[in-house]
């Protein structure tokens, strides 16, 4: 895969510029395992863009998988692009330096595709930053033949409408399934000298591909969506999510690119499974990545050995929405302990549940004296945990904490959400009360002479954002002041606890939550707002030092749209949503049933206990078919 003869490497930025910016290694490319090809021998050049800074983007597994998938093709060269930090952004604008691919250091405006992954709504203005620096029109309608096709993907593409005006097409679902068909179609039509419009029309016929310009939205007088229809009879009215049913044999990066500087996830990442059996009603990932599919343990062992050998990393992380639910976790960890300990490699196990099995596994892989345990009860009271279908009782939490303290831990991090549907003040106060009980348990469980210091319980609260394709997609939000008031109640209650000196409390920014809520469930009219915000100087909104809510308010006012319309309004059960044209594998009937179960505080069993008829069985694989011959 690392290629043939290529010309001598030369950076797009001069030494003078590189010396002026923070962390110049973000921009020079040529890292270990990066792929360089002779551009004269390929038919398709693809710029894979992550709309955030290098250290964040280099940690993203999805891009690594697609980078591997595309570069295995002899006819395609995929390069990486990340958002230039504001210091370089300023210089590139002043000096008219076009955005470039890291591998070739050549302008992406000369590529065939610019692919942008949509991981988080607060990166939407960075989409425009990338297109602006690339020196191509920001709006898809203004692009002409010879300019790159801009394609979006990732979890936020399940509601692509707020950014629809900026993209030529979207890929809905997992890239391993249809990208080969899309690239083959492009190559064929390029050879036939067919133009942009003809290609987009044909691409729209491929399963999983959505071309926004070929669909029309109309609205009721109250601002809600009235109709969403294709402009041509030969393209589908519903876009079906793509699912990779065979994770074990699918493409995976055995030689991932190793960054020059420390990335957020600076380690080998081993993907155990996709999807989740749990069915938490607030969790979009748990719904859109259904059905739950596991990778065979022997394949994981093989990948771990190859990836550690090809990178020199000193840590390996087991990636999953719920690692505890991987059926061969104990066998895999036992193997990795044997392999890794001899080489001085650490093992990281995120996404574990608070139970005896998980704690036993954690005790084997963690240095207990240095580490803290992280768990996510999400709600303080049992009533609210039942509303969100967390499947975790207070007894589970306290027993798990006690087991952890007996095992030598004295630091626990707990994650909660404020603003969940049906939340009461009693539910808010239950968060610090639970933290107090956990701290008390430490002092009651561990004899004084055996303690390795004070107990430390850190509680963090984010504010709830209702997401598409979740049972809570009908829920209303609240305004920033109310979120802060609720955080104040938690903070005040912390101070009243007997063990308050052992409890630390952090909370999320409320303004960011409100905007995230707007962008998550918005329609294509929001493209104008995002454009206006970017024109006002907004990008890197995911970074608190750059986020300015007042500029966003001004953008909404300029565009004549209301923030409250998208956040404060409770959706009717019969409302047509902007994302209803996507078949995400879970039916609206199932989601509505779960929304009703939430109001009744009724718990739905996980997928291994009982099938709840969500609709994902139509994909013909995964947990839906385990032991069901």
Q: How far apart are CA 215 and CA 237, in angstroms?
A: 9
Identify the residue with better confidence: 363 or 608.
608
CB 472 within 8 A of CB 517: no
Least confident of 22-31, 207-216, 390-399, 514-523: 390-399
539 exposed, middle or buried (CB, 10 Å; 0-12, 13-18, 19+)?
A: buried
CA–CA separation, 359 and 408 (whole Å):
11
Task: State the pLDDT confidence band at 1, using cuts at 50, 70 and 90.
Answer: very low
Cis peptide bond upstream of 291, omega within 30: yes
Per-residue confidence (pLDDT) for residue 57, from 0 to 100: 96
DSSP state for residue 59 in the 8-state scheme: T
Residue 607 CB contacts under 8 Å (≥ 6 apart), including other chains: 277, 278, 279, 291, 292, 623, 624
pLDDT of residue 107 exceeding 80: yes
Q: Tell me which residue of 92, 73, 79 sits closest to 50, measured CA to CA.
A: 79
CA distance 76 to 43: 6
DSSP secondary-structure letter at 533? H
Q: Is the pLDDT of residue 75 over 80?
A: yes
Q: Is 203 left (phi over 0), alpha (psi -120 to 50) or beta?
A: alpha
The pLDDT of 313-323, averaged and rounded, is: 92
Q: What integer pLDDT is reported at residue 451 of this predicted model?
A: 86
Of the candidates 157, 174, 156, 146, the residue with the CA atom closest to the CA atom of residue 211:
157
Instruction: Report the distance separating Cα 463 and Cα 511, nearest Å.
Output: 10
The set of long-range contacts for 190-197, using a CB threshold of 8 Å and a minimum separation of 24, is 190/43, 190/112, 195/145, 196/143, 196/144, 196/145, 196/147, 196/149, 196/168
439 HSE (CA, 13 A, CB side): 24
9 pLDDT more than 80: no
DSSP 577: P
Q: How far apart are CA 604 and CA 185, in angstroms?
A: 43
Confidence of residue 371 (pLDDT cuts 50, 70, 90): low
Tell whether the model's pLDDT for residue 26 goes beyond 60: yes
Q: What percent of the chain has pLDDT over 70?
A: 97
Report the percent of the chain where pLDDT is more than 90: 86
pLDDT tens by residue, 180-197: 999 999 999 999 999 999
The residue count of the chain comes to 629
pLDDT over 70 at 262, yes or no: yes
**pLDDT at residue 179 tops 70:** yes
Looking only at the bridges linking them, the beta strands covering 582-583 and 346-348 are unpaired
**Helix, strand or coil for residue 375?**
strand
Q: Tell me the C-alpha distance between 353 and 359, whole Å.
A: 9
Cβ pair 412, 401 in contact under 8 A: yes
Instruction: Give start and end residues of each alpha helix (H) in 33-163.
Output: 54-57, 61-71, 86-95, 124-133
Per-residue pLDDT, 2: 47
What does the pLDDT read at residue 515?
98
| The pLDDT value given to residue 449 | 87
Distance CA 230, CA 211 (A): 10
Of 35-44, 333-342, 465-474, the range with the lowest mean pLDDT is 333-342
Span 551-558, mean pLDDT? 98
The terminus-to-terminus CA distance of the chain in angstroms comes to 40
Mean pLDDT across the chain, nearest whole number? Answer: 94
Which H/E stretch holds residue 298? helix 297-311
Is the C-alpha dihedral spanning 79, 82, 83, 89 positive or negative? negative
Q: If you average pLDDT over residues 297-312, what whole number do you get?
A: 96
Cα distances (angstroms) measured from residue 506 to each of 210, 329, 420, 627? 40, 32, 18, 44
Whole-number Å distance between alpha carbons of 414 and 437:
13
Nearest to 451, CA basis, from 403, 402, 406: 406
Confidence (pLDDT) at 182: 98
Q: What are phi and psi of 205, to 5 degrees?
A: -85, -15
- Tell me the average pLDDT across 336-351: 85
pLDDT for residue 375 = 86
d(CA 418, CA 441): 25
Please spell the DSSP secondary structure of 326-341, one letter per residue. Answer: -TTHHHHHHHHHHHHH
Place of tokens 């097409």: 169
Helices vs. strands in the chain: H and E counts, helices first? 20, 19
The pLDDT confidence band at residue 548, using thresholds 50, 70 and 90, is very high
Note the pLDDT of residue 629: 45
Give pLDDT, residue 65.
97
Q: What's the average model confidence in pLDDT over 375-389?
A: 96
With left for phi above 0 and alpha for psi between -120 and 50, is residue 491 left, alpha or beta?
alpha
Token pair, residue 538, equals: 């907004």
Average pLDDT for residues 553-575, to the nearest whole number? 96
pLDDT of residue 342: 80
Q: What is the dihedral of CA 141, 144, 147, 148, to 10 degrees?
A: 40
Q: If we measure between CA atoms, which residue out of 54, 110, 49 comes closest to residue 81?
A: 49
Judge contact between 462 and 283, C-beta under 8 A: no
8 band by pLDDT with thresholds 50, 70 and 90: low
Provide the b/e sequence for 40-61 (b: ≥16 CB within 10 Å). Answer: eebebbbbbbbbbbbbbbbbbb
């Amino acid at each position: 895969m690392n290629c043939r003869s290529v010309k001598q490497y030369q950076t797009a930025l001069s030494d003078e510029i590189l010396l002026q910016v923070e962390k110049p290694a973000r921009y020079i490319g040529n890292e270990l395992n990066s792929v360089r090809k002779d551009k004269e021998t390929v038919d398709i050049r693809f710029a894979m863009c992550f709309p955030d800074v290098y250290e964040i983007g280099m940690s993203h597994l999805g891009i690594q998988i697609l980078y591997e998938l595309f570069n295995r093709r002899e006819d395609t060269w995929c390069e990486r692009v990340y958002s230039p930090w504001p210091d370089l952004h300023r210089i590139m604008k002043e000096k008219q330096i076009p955005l470039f691919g890291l591998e070739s250091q050549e302008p992406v405006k000369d590529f065939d595709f610019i692919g942008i992954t949509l991981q988080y709504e607060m990166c939407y203005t960075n989409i425009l930053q990338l297109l602006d620096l690339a020196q191509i029109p920001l709006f898809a309608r203004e692009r002409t033949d010879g300019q790159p096709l801009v394609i979006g993907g990732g979890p936020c593409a399940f509601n692509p409408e707020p950014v629809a005006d900026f993209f030529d097409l979207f890929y809905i679902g997992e890239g391993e399934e249809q990208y080969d068909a899309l690239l083959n179609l492009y190559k064929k039509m390029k050879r036939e000298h067919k133009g942009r419009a003809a290609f987009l029309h044909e691409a729209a016929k491929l399963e999983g591909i959505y071309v926004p310009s070929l669909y029309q939205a109309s609205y009721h007088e109250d601002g809600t969506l009235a109709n969403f229809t294709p402009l041509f009879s030969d393209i589908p009215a519903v876009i079906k999510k793509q699912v990779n049913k065979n994770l074990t044999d699918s493409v995976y990066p055995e030689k991932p690119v190793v960054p020059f500087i420390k990335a957020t996830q600076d380690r080998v990442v081993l993907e155990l499974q996709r999807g989740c059996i749990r069915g938490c009603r607030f969790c979009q990932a748990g719904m859109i990545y259904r059905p739950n599919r596991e990778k065979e343990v022997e394949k994981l062992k093989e990948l771990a050995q190859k990836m550690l050998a090809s990178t020199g990393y000193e840590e390996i992380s087991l990636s999953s929405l719920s690692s505890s639910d991987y059926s061969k976790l104990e066998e895999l960890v036992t193997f990795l302990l044997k392999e890794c300990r001899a080489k001085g490699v650490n093992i990281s196990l995120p996404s574990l549940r608070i139970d005896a099995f998980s704690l036993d596994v954690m005790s084997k892989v963690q240095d207990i004296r240095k580490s803290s345990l992280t768990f996510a009860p999400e709600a303080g009271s049992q009533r609210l945990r039942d509303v969100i279908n967390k499947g975790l009782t207070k007894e589970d939490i306290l027993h798990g904490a006690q087991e952890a303290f007996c095992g030598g831990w004295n630091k626990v991090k707990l994650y909660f959400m404020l603003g969940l549907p049906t939340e009461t003040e009693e539910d808010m106060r239950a968060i610090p009360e639970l933290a107090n009980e956990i701290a008390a348990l430490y002092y009651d469980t561990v004899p004084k002479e055996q303690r390795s210091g004070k107990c430390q319980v850190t509680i963090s609260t984010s504010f709830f954002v209702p997401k598409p394709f979740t049972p809570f997609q009908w829920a209303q939000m609240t305004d920033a002041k109310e979120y802060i008031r609720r955080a104040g109640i938690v903070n005040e209650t912390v101070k009243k606890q007997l063990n308050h000196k052992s409890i630390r409390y952090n909370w999320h920014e409320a303004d960011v939550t409100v905007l995230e809520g707007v962008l998550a469930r918005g329609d294509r009219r929001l493209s104008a707002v995002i454009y206006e915000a970017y024109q006002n100087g907004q990008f890197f909104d995911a970074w608190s030092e750059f986020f300015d809510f007042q500029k966003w308010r001004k953008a909404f006012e300029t565009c004549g749209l209301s923030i409250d319309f998208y956040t404060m309004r409770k959706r009717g059960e019969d409302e047509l949503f902007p994302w209803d044209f996507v078949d995400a594998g879970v039916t609206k009937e199932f989601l509505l049933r779960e929304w009703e179960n939430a109001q009744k505080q009724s718990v739905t069993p996980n997928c291994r206990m009982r099938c709840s008829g969500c609709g994902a069985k139509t994909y013909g694989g995964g947990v839906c078919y385990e032991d069901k011959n």
